[in-house]
Amino acid sequence: ILADEREKMIDNVESTLYNQALDGNTTAMIFFLKTQAKSRGYIEGPEVVSNNDQESTPLSLPAELIAPDFLEAHRKILSGEYTEFDFDGGRGSLKSTFTSEASITLLANNPMMHMLALRQVKDTLHASVYTQLKWAIEQLGLIEKFKFTVSPLEITYKPTGQKIYFRGADDPTNIKSIKPPFGYIGILWLEEFDQFRGEEPVRSIVQSALRGGNKAYWFNTWNTPKSRNHWVNKYVAVPKPGRYHMTSNYLNVPKEWLGTIFLNEAEHLKSVNPKAYEHEYMGIANGTGGTIFDNLELRAITDKEISEFDHIHYGLDWGYALDPLHWVKLHYDAGKEIIY
C-alpha cells in the first residue's frame, strides 16, 4: 500500500512539473527531465541532463552565423509573436541555412519539444534537410551532444533525448505514426515548400504534426516559383495571423560565404538574361504560368494583318494518352522574326 501511495505521489509531482514546463518554467523543465526521463525509460544511461549549470543557460544563435537579411526574422522568432515563418527568395539567400540554425537553437532551448523535417519525397531527405541540420549542429559547436542515425533517419539530442524526425509527404501515414517519447513535436520544417502538393495537403500535415503543446514553430523554405499563378505564391499573398513572411536574395550575404564561382555565374546571367536572373537570383515571380516562351504578346490578330499573311503553316500534335490533341495555324514573318 505504501509503495502504491508513493507511486501516486510521484505521478502527481511529475504531472505538476510537466504542466509548469509547458508554461515555460525552465527549472521545472530541467527537473522533470532529470527525474522522469530515466525512471520512465525515456532515455538510457547517464546522459539525461548533467548537474552542470550550463544546461540551464539558454543557447543563443551567434550573430556572426546569421545572414544580415535574417536578423529581423531571428528577432521575430525570439519575440514569440508568430508560429509560421515563410522564407522564400532566390538562390544563395541562405533560407535553409538560417532555418537549420534557428531550429537547432529552439530545440536546445525547449526541452519538451521535438522536431519534424519534411520534403515532398522521402528519398531526398538525407541529402537535404538531414545534412543541412547536421551542418548547423557543427556550426553551433554541438556535434558531441547529438547522435546521428541513418536507419531510422533521426537525430537525437543526447542531454534530453529530444528527437529530430524526418519524413516524406508522399507517405502521410508515416507522419501520423510519430509518437515522441515525451513532450510533443513543436518544431516543423517543410523544405522546398513549393514542391508540396498544395495548401490542403500541407494543412493536413500541420494538423497531424503540431498538436499537444501550447507553442510551436513552423518553418517553410523554398525558391520562389516563376509563375505568379503557382499555389505557393498565391498562398503567401493572402494575409494570415501569426505568420511572418520574408523574401530574401544573395546580395546581402557575405561574399566569402558564397564564393567567387557563385557570384560570377549570377553576374553572367544578369548580363545575358536579366529576366532569368530576376527570377532565379532575386526570387521574383515574373512569369505568367503555363507558357513555354516568355517573349509573348497576347492580343487578338487583326483581319488586316491576316490579309497580309503569305507564309501560313499548319501543325498537329497528336497528344496521345492524357495530353490533348492540338492543331495550330500560323504565319511566320521572317523579316521581323515574329510568329503569329
pLDDT at 5: 53
Give the DSSP H/E element, type plus range, for residue 39.
helix 26-39
Q: Any catalytic annotation for residue 192?
A: yes
Report the C-alpha gap between 182 and 159 in whole angstroms: 14
**257 close to 94: Cβ distance less than 8 angstroms:** yes
DSSP string, 296-313: ----PPPHHHHHT---EE
Angle between helix 71-79 and 95-109 (nearest 10): 30
3-class SS of residue 286: coil
- Measured in whole angstroms, the distance separating CA 186 from the mean position of its chain's CA atoms is 14
Its pTM stands at 0.74
Q: How confident is the prediction along the chain (340 residues), in pLDDT tens digits per residue?
A: 445 554 554 565 566 556 656 666 555 565 556 555 445 444 443 333 433 444 557 899 999 999 999 999 999 999 999 999 999 999 999 999 999 999 999 999 999 999 999 999 999 999 999 999 999 999 999 999 999 999 999 999 999 999 999 999 988 778 988 999 999 999 999 999 999 999 999 999 999 999 989 999 999 999 999 998 899 999 999 999 999 999 999 999 999 999 999 999 999 999 999 999 999 999 999 987 666 676 788 899 999 999 999 989 999 988 777 778 889 999 999 888 899 9
Rg (Cα) of the chain, in Å, rounded?
26
Report the C-alpha gap between 322 and 319 in whole angstroms: 7
Choosing from 101, 192, 278, 280, which is the catalytic residue? 192
